[in-house]
């Protein structure tokens, strides 16, 4: 009889090859000199000059994540309340944009928001001046929300769907109105989906670079753009690895704070 622990061997090998080894390479380059290859903290020290970009990246990612939560929660709740046949259709519609290339989806927004794009041409046809819809923070947040919104809806839908309807009925029998049922029963029970959605949206949003390049400007440079430039234009992989390492640490800190805050909340029953 095959020992059950052996079944985890493929997963362990996969994690070592594609997680542990790459992280080890990042650590090596982050703490070595690009010329001599000797140990140094210079790359870590140089990160101080990029802290404003770090802060801006985290800020825009948080805004995008919160917008996704505000939009995605009602959508997920509505889908979960529909009959099974309609749920499958709506679930498919949510996933459908993910079947299109990420680059094409972003470029579609460029065509819509550009100074000579579809929206501004329509505005000019009405006799008004074109609006600055692109190359700003708002356009970058819009691109993030559009691309990452399904990652918020899907985990929320999965968790809300599993909430026992008897708990809702019990809260109503005890005199809770609809807002109280939501705040005391539904939302606390759906917190695992909120945390999963937050993680799945925040992590790619804080490290994105293509969205900021196409929808932003030089004033909306994010840390993902800087890291990409270190491996392409400037070709300083040591500094790029150090920036990636600090970004990973900051992401873990933000996620840890979120999980800790959510973990202290108990399900308040009426």
The CATH number linked to 215 is 1.10.3720.10
Residue 98 domain flag: yes
Domain extent, residue 89, equals: 50-262
- Residue 186 to residue 160: CA distance in whole angstroms: 8
Is residue 29 in some structural domain?
A: no
- How many helices (H) and strands (E) the chain has is answered by 15, 0
Convert the pLDDT of each residue in 105-159 to its tens digit: 999 999 999 988 999 999 999 988 989 999 999 999 999 999 999 999 999 999 9
Residue 243 domain flag: yes
pLDDT score of 267 more than 60: no
Q: What CA–CA distance (Å, rounded) separates 35 from 45?
A: 17
Choose between 243 and 262: higher pLDDT: 243
C-alpha to C-alpha distance for 6 and 23, rounded to whole angstroms = 25
Number of domains in the chain: 1
Tokens of residue 160, six digits: 């809300």
The pLDDT, as a whole number, for residue 4 is: 67
CB-based contacts of 157: which residues, under 8 Å, 6+ apart?
76, 79, 80, 91, 94, 193
Residues 76 and 151 sit within 8 Å (Cβ to Cβ): no
Residues 96, 159: Cα–Cα separation, whole Å = 21
pTM above 0.85, yes or no: yes
Residue 205 within any structural domain of the chain: yes
Percent of the chain with pLDDT over 90: 64
- Judge whether 44 lies within some domain: no
d(CA 222, CA 156): 28
Nearest residue to 144 (alpha-carbon basis) of 92, 83, 69: 69
Question: How far apart are the C-alpha atoms of 158 and 76, rounded to whole Å?
Answer: 8
* 193 within a domain of the structure (yes/no): yes
In a domain, 246, yes or no: yes
In a domain, 36, yes or no: no
């Amino acid at each position: 009889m095959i020992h059950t622990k052996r079944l985890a061997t493929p997963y362990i090998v996969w994690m070592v090859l594609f997680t542990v080894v790459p992280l080890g390479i990042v650590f090596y380059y982050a703490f070595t000199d690009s010329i001599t290859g000797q140990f140094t903290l210079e790359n870590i020290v140089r990160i101080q000059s990029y802290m404003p970009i770090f802060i801006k990246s985290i800020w825009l990612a948080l805004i995008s994540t919160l917008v996704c939560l505000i939009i995605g929660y009602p959508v997920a709740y509505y889908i979960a309340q529909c009959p099974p046949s309609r749920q499958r259709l709506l679930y498919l519609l949510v996933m459908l944009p993910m079947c299109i290339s990420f680059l094409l989806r972003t470029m579609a927004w460029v065509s819509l928001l550009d100074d000579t794009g579809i929206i501004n041409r329509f505005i000019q046809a009405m006799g008004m001046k074109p609006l600055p819809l692109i190359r700003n923070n708002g356009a970058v947040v819009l691109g993030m929300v559009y691309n990452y919104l399904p990652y918020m809806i899907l985990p929320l839908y999965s968790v809300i769907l599993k909430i026992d309807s008897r708990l809702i009925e019990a809260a109503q029998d005890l005199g809770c109105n609809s807002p109280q049922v939501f705040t005391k029963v539904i939302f606390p029970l759906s917190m695992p989906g909120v945390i999963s959605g937050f993680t799945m949206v925040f992590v790619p949003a804080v490290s994105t670079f293509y969205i900021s390049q196409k929808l932003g400007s030089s004033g909306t440079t994010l840390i993902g753009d800087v890291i990409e430039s270190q491996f392409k234009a400037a070709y300083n992989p040591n500094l790029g690895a150090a920036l990636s390492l600090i970004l990973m640490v900051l992401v873990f800190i933000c996620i840890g704070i979120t999980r800790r805050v959510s973990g202290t909340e108990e399900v308040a029953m009426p």
